Amino acid sequence: KKIAIFASGNGSNFQALVEGIQRQKLAVQVVLLVCDQPQAHVLQRAQQLNIPIWTASIKQFTDKTAFETAILTELQQLDVGLVLLAGYMRIIGPTLLQAYPQRIINIHPALLPQFPGRHGIEDAFAAGVEQTGVTVHYVDAGIDSGPIIQQAVVPVQPQDTVASLSARIHQTEHWLYLAGLEKVLATRSLK
C-alpha cells in the first residue's frame, strides 16, 4: 500500500510516521511528501529520510482546483491509495476529496469535536479544561469534522504553559498517528 503525507511546516509528525512505519514494519510505503510551503522545514526531513518530494505554492496555480489537480496527477502516477495530513494547513477541496473518499486522514491536537480549527492547543488551554488530547480522524468537507478513528487524552497540569502543554500533545501525536494508521490498515482493505 502506498501512502502520501501532506505537510506544511515543521514536520515532526511526518518524521514520526516515516520512522514508525519502518520500525514497526507496517505493510505500507511512504512514496511522497506533498508540501505547499516551499521553505518548510519538513522538506529537509524528507531529504534526510529519502522520501520523494512534491512541493509548490498554491500561488503558482490559477486556483485551488488547478493546484489540487496537479497534486492528484502526481498521486495517481505513484498509485497512492491513502493520504495522511500531518500539519497540512489547507482545507482539502472537492478535487482531492472525491478522488480519495474516506482515504484522507488528519491528526488534530485536541479532543474533537472540542476545539476544531487552527488553534486547538491554545483554545483548550484558554478554556481552562482539565484535559485535552489528540484525535486521528477521516477528512470530510468540514473543518476537523470527519469520523473519528482514534483519540488519546492528554492531561493539563496546573503548572502548564501553552509551550509545555504543546510539547506533551506533540509527543502523544507521534505515537497516536501510528496507532491510528495501524487500526485503519487492520480494518479496511485499501489498495
Q: Return the C-alpha cell found at 100.
A: 480519495
Binding span for ligand GRF by CB under 6 A among 18-26, 50-58, 76-84, 102-110: 102-110
Check if the beta carbon of residue 180 is closer than 8 Å to that of residue 105: yes
When asked if residue 87 is in the footprint of ligand GRF (CB under 6 A), the reply is: yes
Query: Which one among 3, 4, 12, 82 touches ligand GRF, defined by CB under 6 A?
Result: 12
When asked if residue 137 is in the footprint of ligand GRF (CB under 6 A), the reply is: no
Strand order in the sheet with 29-35: 53-55, 29-35, 2-7, 82-85, 104-108, 131-138, 148-155
When asked if residue 11 is in the footprint of ligand GRF (CB under 6 A), the reply is: yes
Query: Which one among 3, 4, 13, 67 touches ligand GRF, defined by CB under 6 A?
Result: 13
108 catalytic per annotation: yes
> Cis (ω within 30 of 0) for the bond into 109?
no
C-alpha distances (whole Å) from 55 to each of 38, 71, 182 are 6, 9, 27
Residue at grid coordinates 497534486: 71
Binding span for ligand GRF by CB under 6 A among 30-38, 43-51, 55-63, 105-113: 105-113
**116 φ, ψ (degrees, to nearest 5):** -75, 175
Please, which of residues 52-71 interact with ligand GRF by CB under 6 A?
none
Check if the beta carbon of residue 90 is closer than 8 Å to that of residue 58: yes
Active site residues: 108
Contact residues: ligand GRF, CB under 6 A: 7, 9-14, 86-87, 107-109, 173
List, as residue ranges, the binding site for (6R)-10-formyltetrahydrofolate: 64, 89-92, 106
List, as residue ranges, the binding site: 11-13, 64, 89-92, 106
